[in-house]
């Protein structure tokens, strides 16, 4: 279009002025004025500043697309353990059935020491013993628990109610211990809610963003936490594969962000429109997420959302000024009111305007 306008400018001015050089100079001025530097800078300048401010504030984006996608988010899904709660568990109660106490402690420690789950690590720390069982095989079944076989062929489990629902009606304990499909004990732990969790949920609701709790934990505990924090919807007792299916269905309805920290959350984090992990999360969760919130907490989530929306707004402002500048300046150059030299100066100033507008993002209030 610009080349066409430049050609029309030359032909019209040559006919009108009947002079080659002035007509050519006006045509060159149009081409200089329309140099697309400003339009080329509009997006990357804003994104560079947005990413820079995010990094300085403790928010790491893997790519520019995830920063821009924040503007579309309509619902945020939270994992429970280690995300909305601190993940620092303490043992509250336990019970042993038909088993020697010392032997039971040894079994529990020898099972849970091989798991990366925060509850398992808490239990292993509480029951630490030097007399460890040397298992024939061990396996961590995602969303269920730890399974091990000793040298005599006895099969032991330490896991959720899913492994014990045929053996007991008491569904409210955290971990059940089985030996050869027989219940030999259970363990309860308590976890603290992150101090900033309520504030974050309230902020999201004030922005008309739906909040969802997605957890493998029991329904009673999830419902209780959701009631305390004011979360809109609860999906509990979800295995990693079910979490993935849930995120897929939510994505199909609305752009969705997922906040999680565990190995079980990794597939869902990768599937979400934006996967968000915490800096103290498992390595697999960090690698699967597009955004990592540093400083061990959710406090930076509103800033990440605000930066995403304001970066996109800055891009639109930059593009507007770039096009507005051309729409005004090209006719002025075509009628001979700007020389190529002065046009080059004005064109350079347009780049400066866009740069200044982008730099405002460093200091602008985005929350």
- The residues assigned a catalytic role are 79
Distance CA 108, CA 186 (A): 10
Cα dist from 154 to 102, 137, 167, 179, 215, whole Å: 17, 11, 18, 7, 31
Distance CA 318, CA 361 (A): 12
Are the beta carbons of 97 and 232 closer than 8 angstroms? no
Distance CA 127, CA 129 (A): 6
Torsion of CA 230, 165, 124, 140, to 10 degrees: -100
268 alpha-carbon distance from chain centroid: 11
C-beta atoms surrounding 93 within 10 Å:
11
DSSP label at residue 194: P
Specify the 3-state DSSP secondary structure of 233. Answer: strand
């Amino acid at each position: 279009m610009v080349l066409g306008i430049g050609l029309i400018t030359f032909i019209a001015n040559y006919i009108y002025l009947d002079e080659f050089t002035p007509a050519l100079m006006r045509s060159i001025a149009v081409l200089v004025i329309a140099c697309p530097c400003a339009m080329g800078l509009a997006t990357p300048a804003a994104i560079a500043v947005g990413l820079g401010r995010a990094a300085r504030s403790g928010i790491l984006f893997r790519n520019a697309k995830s920063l821009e996608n924040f503007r579309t988010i309509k619902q945020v899904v939270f994992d429970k353990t280690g995300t909305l709660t601190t993940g620092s568990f303490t043992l509250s109660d336990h019970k042993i059935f038909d088993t020697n106490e010392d032997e039971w402690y040894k079994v529990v420690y020898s099972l849970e020491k091989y798991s990366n789950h925060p509850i398992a690590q808490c239990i292993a720390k509480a029951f630490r013993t030097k007399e460890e069982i040397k298992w024939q095989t061990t396996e961590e079944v995602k969303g269920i628990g730890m399974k091990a076989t000793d040298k005599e062929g006895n099969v032991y489990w330490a896991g959720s109610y899913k492994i014990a629902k045929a053996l007991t009606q008491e569904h409210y304990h955290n971990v059940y211990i089985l030996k050869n499909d027989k219940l030999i004990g259970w363990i309860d732990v308590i976890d603290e809610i992150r101090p900033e969790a309520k504030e974050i949920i309230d902020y999201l609701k004030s922005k008309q963003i739906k909040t969802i709790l997605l957890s493998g934990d029991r329904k009673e505990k999830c419902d209780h936490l959701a009631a305390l924090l004011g979360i809109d919807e609860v999906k509990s007792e979800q295995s990693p594969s079910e979490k993935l299916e849930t995120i897929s269905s939510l994505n199909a309805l609305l752009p969705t962000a997922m906040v999680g920290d565990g190995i079980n959350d990794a597939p869902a984090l990768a599937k979400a429109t934006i996967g968000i992990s915490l800096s103290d999360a498992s390595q697999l969760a960090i690698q699967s997420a597009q955004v990592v919130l540093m400083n061990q907490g959710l406090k930076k989530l509103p800033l990440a959302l605000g930066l995403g929306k304001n970066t996109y707004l800055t891009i639109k402002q930059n593009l507007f000024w770039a096009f507005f500048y051309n729409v005004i300046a090209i006719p002025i150059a075509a009628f001979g009111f700007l020389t190529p030299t002065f046009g080059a100066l004005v064109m350079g100033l347009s780049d400066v305007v866009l740069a200044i507008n982008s730099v405002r993002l460093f200091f602008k209030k985005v929350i």
